[in-house]
Amino acid sequence: MRFHKEGWPSLFIVGLFSAILIGIARNFFPDFAIAQWFAYLVSTFLIVVILQFFRHPRRQHTLGDNLVIAPADGKIVVIEETNENEYFKDKRLQVSIFMSPTNVHVNRYPMAGIVSFFKYHPGKFLVAYDPKSSTDNERTTVVVKNKNGYEILFRQIAGALARRIVWYCKEGDEAKQCGQMGFIKFGSRVDLFFPVGTKLNVKIGDVVKGSQTVLAEI
């Protein structure tokens, strides 16, 4: 199990806080064992939370020119036809993956191609399962076009706990299927938009794994 590079600042902050907390307990309450144990327990809990949240497991990727792979770990919470008004400006089939704080939060390209569109949107921090989060929250919009001209749009959407979306792409970049394209910190969601009529391999309630679960065949 690896530790993701995005977690080092958070681990440093938690480590510094833990050192101060333990130092206060030992120096100001030397005769109160319960205060020292409390400091140790809180520090251990916080460090474990950071280590598990920013974990970066090694995986065997699922690859295929005709496959759209889940870009994130999580649970399928939305499958519906909706209007996509930013790029396609027509009706699309939306699939949304909710990422809880216990999921791996690495985001990956669902298919290979070229990044034909990218835009970052500052916004609110509504809970990620709120339908308005897709249009009102802090988010990115990424469109990848494959060699056959097929385009898929997906969005990183910040949740109520998330306060930073990280992306590693820009327009014109090569997108390698299942390659890292970003990270969302502390709870979030990813939306994908397919052509209406696309046959999906998942249903609402399914738990998917980024870089492994096949969402659709194109």
Catalytic residues, which ones?
188
**CA 119: distance to chain centroid?**
17
| Helix extents (H) in the chain | 8-28, 33-53, 133-136
Beta bridge partner(s), residue 103: none
Two tokens at 112? 């290979």
Two tokens at 136? 């009102």
Q: How many CB atoms lie within 10 A of CB 73?
A: 24
Residue in this structure with the two tokens 């979030």, named with its chain if needed: 188
SS3 9: helix
CA-based end-to-end distance of the chain: 33
How far apart CA 189 and CA 168 sit, in angstroms, is 17
SS3 5: helix
How far apart CA 188 and CA 99 sit, in angstroms, is 5
Q: 161 Cβ partners below 8 Å, 6+ apart?
A: 101, 125, 186, 187
